[in-house]
Amino acid sequence: MSFVVNDRWKLYLKGLGKSLLLTVGALALGIVIGVVISIVRTAHDQKRSGEDKISAGLSVGNAICQLYTTIIRGTPMMVQLMIMGFVVFASSRNMQGVAILALGINSGAYVSEIIRSGIMSIDPGQMEAGRSLGMGYGTVMKEVILPQAIKNILPALGNELITLFKDTSLVSVIGMTELTKVARDIQARTYLPMMPYLGIALMYLVVVIIMTWLLGKLERRMRRSDRR
Amino acid sequence: MTEDNVLLRVEHLSKSFGSNLVLDDISEQIRTGEKVCIIGPSGSGKSTFLRCMNLLERPTKGDVFFDGQKITDLSVDVNKVREQMGMVFQHFNLFPNKTVRQNITLAPVRTGHMTQQEADAEADKLLARVNLSEKAEDYPSSLSGGQKQRIAIVRAMAMHPKMMLFDEPTSALDPEMVGEVLNVMKELASEGMTMAVVTHEMGFAREVADRVLFVDEGKIMEQGTPDELFGHPKNRRLQDFLSKVL
């Protein structure tokens, strides 16, 4: 009844597709935000006295980033979603865009801390060596520091991916149809709560298990290049 | 600006970390082609002195002039200056995510001095000089300490610097690997490279240096030719220091 009638299983698949789409979109946005913020914050932390030209700008940037991280991490995801959906973009019909934006902005705060810890874990001598050769901060970051940091970051980033995927279930509150909303709609139609909810729980679980497996493979492959 | 072809000059250089005064009003100059060894007990400020020369540490007070240019001026592009000053570190600081070849070619290519082909050719030439041609495609993690440091020297040389700074280049090496690194440095010295070397290798200092500076408590306590300094040390602390290390 909950799955077969009226081809309802197709609705679940469509919902799952939406959830995955939201996850990918939000993670991409989160990583972009996270990289920018983490670089501003580490540049601020590692700045040497005397390079006054940029330090004023960095201090402002750092303050903004800290404020952002504090607010995003200090308020519930669902509240952020409702503010974005019903206040900031109240007139928007593009709920998918709003959802990705809200999830991405939320994720960016966590990703930035993950990346920052990854960058901090790299020996400062790497930056010094790069700078001593005449390369700029950004070049050394991109060519030397970030590629090494990514290896250390990957497990935590995988965790964030999984959290984000499950958090997509919250976007049903702003009326977007993803996997959880599908289950709710079907339950409202059939008055049978058990099968839809157990069903989607299983779907979430299977996807997370697949993600974990893929991440593990990726991690092992990156580590192998270490020992060459 | 060229008083007797001075390449690097520091004037009234002071550096403090917080309330800790590490360098105390040092004035000194290094001429083109000169090899200067800097010795002194640990914590004396000799590494900081060296790191101030290419502004890895910004001096708290005083100025650094390189090739007639006041590089402590905030309007000076530090990257351009550093291209002219190679640096070799105690812990090598090779880039582990790059192959040996990429380690050498990264900076010349990214700073726009060479195309990738030119840099590759340069890397081959340099690797052949230090007998490490067969390691070109390896990653640093598979090299011994001595090999790593030779690569690090070659990496700095690929930029064709006017001067090389060495910060205790053999201190992190196993004893049997010290020789191979020192040999590369001697060769470099014999080719006329201007060198400033912070070192504990008194034999090297004696053999290669035109001038030795003894640094303690953030000051140059005594300086002279190796013969003067090692043969007839005048400063009490230097006598003390030499009796411990020789």
Scanning the structure block, which residue is given the tokens 């913020």? Answer: A37
Looking at the complex, report in whole angstroms how far the Cα of residue A29 sits from the nearest Cα belonging to chain B.
Answer: 26
CB pairs under 8 A between A and B: 86
Chain B's closest residue to A49, CA to CA, is B58
Write out chain B residues lying below 8 Å of A139, CB-based.
110
pLDDT tens for A123-151 read: 999 999 999 999 998 899 999 999 999 88
Q: CB-CB: which of A49, A53, A134 is closest to B107?
A: A134
Cβ pair A128:B74 closer than 8 A: no
pLDDT tier, B4 (very low <50, low <70, confident <90, very high otherwise): low
Cβ pair A129:B93 closer than 8 A: yes
- pTM comes to 0.82
Chain B's closest residue to A126, CA to CA, is B93
Chain A's closest residue to B99, CA to CA, is A228
Residues 133-162 of B with CB under 8 A from A: 138-139, 141-142, 152, 155-156, 159
Q: How large is the average pLDDT for residues B227-240?
A: 92
Cβ pair A228:B141 closer than 8 A: yes
- For the cut 60, the answer to whether the pLDDT of residue A227 exceeds it is no
Task: Provide the pLDDT for residue B3.
Answer: 55
Decide if A136 touches B, using CB distance below 8 A: yes
Decide if B83 touches A, using CB distance below 8 A: yes
What is the three-state SS of chain B? CCCCCEEEEEEEEEEEECCEEEEEEEEEEEECCCEEEEECCCCCCHHHHHHHHCCCCCCCEEEEEECCEECCCCCCCHHHHHHCEEEECCCCCCCCCCCHHHHHHHHHHHCCCCCHHHHHHHHHHHHHHCCCHHHCCCCHHHCCHHHHHHHHHHHHHCCCCCEEEEECCCCCCCHHHHHHHHHHHHHHHHCCCEEEEECCCHHHHHHHCCEEEEEECCEEEEEECHHHHHHCCCCHHHHHHHHHHC
- For the cut 90, the answer to whether the pLDDT of residue B118 exceeds it is yes
Looking at the complex, report in whole angstroms how far the Cα of residue B234 sits from the nearest Cα belonging to chain A.
Answer: 36
pLDDT tens for B189-219 read: 999 999 999 999 999 999 999 999 999 999 9
Write out chain B residues lying below 8 Å of A226, CB-based.
96, 141
pLDDT tens for A68-127 read: 999 999 999 999 999 999 999 888 888 899 999 999 999 999 999 999 999 999 999 999
Task: Provide the pLDDT for residue A189.
Answer: 87
Task: Provide the pLDDT for residue A59.
Answer: 86
Cβ pair B110:A227 closer than 8 A: no
- Long-range Cβ contact pairs of B219-225 (< 8 A, separation 24 or more): B219/B24, B219/B25, B219/B26, B220/B26, B220/B28, B221/B40
Looking at the complex, report in whole angstroms how far the Cα of residue B25 sits from the nearest Cα belonging to chain A.
Answer: 18
pLDDT tens for A7-45 read: 788 888 999 999 999 999 999 999 999 999 998 898 888
Distances (CA, A) of B14 to B31, B77, B216: 21, 22, 14
Write out chain B residues lying below 8 Å of A143, CB-based.
95, 98, 106, 110
Task: Provide the pLDDT for residue A1.
Answer: 63
Among the listed residues A17, A23, A69, the one whose alpha carbon sits nearest the alpha carbon of residue A170 = A23
Question: B201 with B170: CB under 8 angstroms?
Answer: yes
Q: B57, B61, B93: best mutation site toward chain A, by most A Cβ within 10 Å?
A: B93
Decide if A45 touches B, using CB distance below 8 A: no
Write out chain A residues lying below 8 Å of B139, CB-based.
225, 228
CATH C-level class of A5-227: mainly alpha
Task: Provide the pLDDT for residue A93.
Answer: 82
Apex B127 CA angle, B121 and B133, nearest 5? 95
Residues 155-184 of A with CB under 8 A from B: none
- For the cut 90, the answer to whether the pLDDT of residue A49 exceeds it is no
- For the cut 80, the answer to whether the pLDDT of residue A4 exceeds it is no
| Terminal Cα-to-Cα distance of chain A (whole angstroms) | 56
pLDDT tens for A181-197 read: 999 888 888 888 888 99
Chain A's closest residue to B105, CA to CA, is A133
Chain A's closest residue to B110, CA to CA, is A135
Task: Provide the pLDDT for residue A91.
Answer: 85
Distances (CA, A) of B200 to A45, A70, B205: 33, 49, 8
pLDDT tier, A177 (very low <50, low <70, confident <90, very high otherwise): confident
Cβ pair A135:B106 closer than 8 A: yes
Q: CB-CB: which of A131, A143, A148 is closest to B106?
A: A143
Average pLDDT, chain B: 93
A52, with CB counted inside 10 A (0-12, 13-18, 19+), is exposed
A41, with CB counted inside 10 A (0-12, 13-18, 19+), is buried
